[in-house]
A and B are shown apart, each in its own frame.
Chain A
Amino acid sequence: MTETATLPVAERQRRADLVHKLRAAFADCQFLFETEDTVAYECDGLAAYRQLPLAVALPETEAQVQHILRVCTELKVPVVPRGAGTCLSGGALPIEDGIVLSLAKFKHIVELNPLARTATVQPGVRNLAISEAAAPYGLYYAPDPSSQIACTIGGNVAENSGGVHCLKYGLTVNNILKVRAVTMDGEVVEFGSLAPDAPGLDLLGVFIGSEGMFAVVTEVVVKLVPKPQCAQVIMASFDDVVKGGEAVAAIIAAGIIPAGLEMMDGPATRAVEEFVHAGYDLSAAAILLCEADGTPEEVAEEIARTIAVLETSGVTRIQVSQSEAERLMFWSGRKNAFPAAGRLSPDYYCMDGTIPRRHIGTLLGRIAEMERQYALRCINVFHAGDGNMHPLILFNGNDADEWHRAELFGADILETCVELGGTITGEHGVGVEKINSMCVQFSPEERDAFFAVKHAFDPVGLLNNDKAIPTRARCAEYGKLHVHHGQLPHPDLPRF
């Protein structure tokens, strides 16, 4: 964290001049520069990383966004776009010498066309608000990240957000038709189209998930889909996590694509049961939640097929929700896994690696070893259908050594995911959090290519720079510090 008071006089003067210039240039939009105002923007959902911005601009129109970006280009001021600030990887962490460009005032649904099944929305519209607006027409916006009540569509586009229904309904990238955005030089660009495709290279595809580093989104057209008539969930218990993983593979190999397929390990189940009292099987080593949706006949058919598969997969107990209330109760534990972790421990650190499903058991075994190695507990919930794991490392943030161990534990999990043929992040993004782990997943040439792709969109390199892609120098530094497989630096120090 930077306190301006500790800066040399010349530097303080330079910043004051810069703020003065920006303030004059942005006279027509809300502009925050006093610390008591800007402090609210010092972090996003990854609160362990904090940085005060130089200032915060809150434009209301696209023309203002163009003006802000042109001025910042001219003055060489970095810009960090921000939606609701729910990012879990520090994607909206301010840059010390830059401004935060908040899209909070872009919160209008411009048009909802039920016949075309599209919604044209401003980037600050909340994910859930789109589905709420579409509900009277029997439609909804499918991607449902767990933060959907708060997170905005602009942020979803930046992160290519997922959710529990991705396996069947796709990610953000599969549900966006068109994005309108402003590049750092103030030019308005449109990626994608209302038609099934757009001519030329698929810039929309690479733009989604670019972590706010290519252009500032000012309007998004999303695809709406018919809301399934009903849904039913199976809750299955296993006495062994590996058997649970094998059951997931068997369901998919049987030609079933469930609407949701989620797993919790025993410790996670016990933690959430204490929190929600949903009647979870406390003797189970793993609980699998498998949801079918569609017409009542379709759901009945899929539930019967799924049960038949489970019965040959070593399941120890099966319950099928018999009402909507029961379905929501079965889900309540999975959906409250994070707050339940918060009750077990002062802090938790959520990981987000994805692995091929067949390695779920292997990864959980390795995490159990790491718990001993780093002397920290970890509970596991995951999107079993797509192999996206959310290990929650429990630690006490007031203890600097615990936080340090938690970070190393997390990096070790991510690198194990890469080793098992997976990736360091399935849906939360790299941001500042996993930037070192990128050195492990990608070669120097691949990282150079990423920088070049960024340069194609943002040649001046001022938009949310220094995130997501590590420099060669950074990776060299990380390589020196990094000792593989959990050999902590200073192994001679006692750990508890």
Chain B
Amino acid sequence: MTDMLDSFRAAVERATRDQTPLQLVGSGSKHWYGETPHGTPLDTRGHAGIVAYDPAELVITARCGTSLAEIEATLAEQGQMLAFEPPHFGPGATLGGCVAAGLSGPRRQAAGALRDFILGVQLLDGQGRVLNFGGQVMKNVAGYDVARLLPGSLGVLGLILQVSLKVLPKPFAEATLRFELYEAEALSRLNQWGGQPLPISASAWQDGVLHLRLSGAEAAVAGACIKLGGERLLDADCSALWQGLREQTAPFFAGRVESAPLWRLALPSTARSVALPGAQLIEWGGGQRWWRSDAPAEQVRTLTEQLGGHATLWRGGDRAVGVFAPLAAPLLQIQRRLKATFDPAGVFNPGRLYPTL
């Protein structure tokens, strides 16, 4: 792997010398996410392989080019999983891209996001230095938690060479319940259930139907099914439902005309119903609300901000409005200083997160 590292270093040196930025690329499965990438592509897939995995430690360490599919298959053999259910968005999705995008799937509402599972990172910075932050243990407060800056950084701080993630056992049992509920009623129930010791691991509401996934000990799932009522889906249908939401292959995401942009609204779960023109799908107990809407970007952003959240222009639409919600001036200043620290020449994915980062 030294050869790969040397070639990465050479690319960084060349980019610095020629002042031609790099565009870090795995399989390209999330190429559409964030601001439009530009620069010379640097393929990270050659740096691949699982470095360490001991199921009893609940930690997996792998290189950036390792495919997510390989990691998940390896974990599944031992009855374990990436609990944040990262979306792949393509058959070749890599670990590096997964961490850089920082996205989590349906289980995020119960298990936490990718950033909650990151234990350590090895980074190649803009000066060609290989830096290790965090480690391979669950509890570690030595030095600042720089590893947690990387999920969702979209590669702007450097090339993520290697990652250690906490993994969890797969639940012993799962069940999916279906309820017919109006939006306001569904949001209210989801928040009330969230305050009770129920094994809810995912939720999705769309067009008057709420689906609820339960995961945990057999007794806990069976008990919750009785307590909550609703209609229990056949086990065979459950995984397709949640997989469709995780990979956004469900009709809401895939089947509609591409003309209306898709917005992701991250909101406090108790935020009231969002009034926008278009169609909505609600996940994460009310915390993540997808809108296919032609509403002007300013209207979407202002409304979301008033409700205590932020809106991302997920797919389509006019990217000129900025993909991510603008940052408060002091926060942008801190982020620019961090960028300057790890990437002084600005060679890694400049502008992918914000135009000035």
Contact = CB atoms under 8 A, between A and B. Distances in A.
A211 B149 CA distance: 17
Interface string A226-258: 111100000000000000000011101101110
B253 interface: no
Interface string B123-159: 0010001011101111111111110110111001100
Given A195-B287, A200-B331, A356-B57, A210 B144 contact: yes
Interface string A373-401: 00000000001011110000000000000
A284 interface: no
B217 A356 contact: no
Interface in A121-168: 137-139, 159-160, 162, 166-167
Contacts of A139: 195
B219 interface: yes
Contact of B78 (A202, A253, A385, A387): A253
Contacts of A16: none
Contact of A196 (B56, B58, B284): B284
B142 A424 contact: yes
B97 to A, nearest CB: 17
B146 to A, nearest CB: 6
Contacts of A55: none
B337 A196 contact: no
B270 interface: yes
B219 A301 contact: yes
Contacts of A209: 141, 144-145
B334 A114 contact: no
Interface in A165-179: 166-167, 170-171, 173-174
Contacts of A297: 217, 219-220, 222-223
Contacts of B331: 189-191, 200, 203
B136 A356 contact: yes
A191 B148 CA distance: 13
A208 to B, nearest CB: 7
Interface residues of B, number: 87
A355 B142 CA distance: 13
A42 B327 CA distance: 40
Contacts of A196: 108-109, 113, 266, 284, 287-288
Contact of B139 (A137, A426, A434, A445): A426
A39 interface: no
Contacts of A454: 144
Given A113-B270, A201-B149, A445-B129, A456 B341 contact: yes
Nearest to B329: A187
B308 A426 contact: no
A198 interface: yes
B218 interface: yes
Contacts of A188: 330
Contacts of A441: 142-143
Nearest to A428: B141
A266 B197 CA distance: 37
Given A203-B334, A206-B144, A257 B219 contact: no
A371 B288 CA distance: 54
A194 interface: yes
Contacts of A249: 56-57
Contacts of B109: 196
Contacts of A195: 266-268, 287, 308-310
A190 to B, nearest CB: 7
Contact of A450 (B55, B79, B80, B146): B146
Contacts of A224: 195
Given A298-B216, A301-B217, A199 B312 contact: yes
B309 A200 contact: no
A233 B32 CA distance: 50
Given A255-B169, A255-B172, A297-B219, A199 B324 contact: yes
B125 A358 contact: no
A187 B55 CA distance: 46
B325 interface: yes
B112 A170 contact: yes
Contacts of A421: 135-137
A452 B339 CA distance: 10
A66 interface: no
Interface in B307-341: 308-310, 312, 324-328, 330-332, 334-335, 337-338, 341
A203 to B, nearest CB: 6
Interface string A354-378: 1111100000000000000000000
Given A387-B138, A425-B140, A441-B142, A250 B219 contact: no
A294 interface: yes
B169 A257 contact: yes
B327 A200 contact: yes
6 shortest A-B CB distances, which residue pairs? A205-B148, A297-B219, A249-B56, A255-B169, A426-B139, A456-B337
Given A199-B325, A209-B144, A297-B223, 11 more contacts: A114-B195, A117-B195, A196-B109, A197-B266, A201-B153, A205-B148, A255-B79, A255-B80, A255-B169, A357-B56, A442-B143
Interface of B: 54-59, 78-80, 102, 108-109, 112-113, 115-116, 125, 129, 131-133, 135-146, 148-149, 151-153, 156-157, 168-170, 172, 191-192, 194-198, 216-220, 222-223, 266-270, 284, 287-288, 308-310, 312, 324-328, 330-332, 334-335, 337-338, 341-342, 353-354, 357
18 contacts: A116-B269, A138-B197, A166-B139, A197-B152, A200-B335, A201-B338, A202-B115, A226-B195, A294-B220, A300-B219, A388-B139, A426-B137, A427-B139, A428-B141, A450-B146, A455-B337, A456-B334, A469-B143
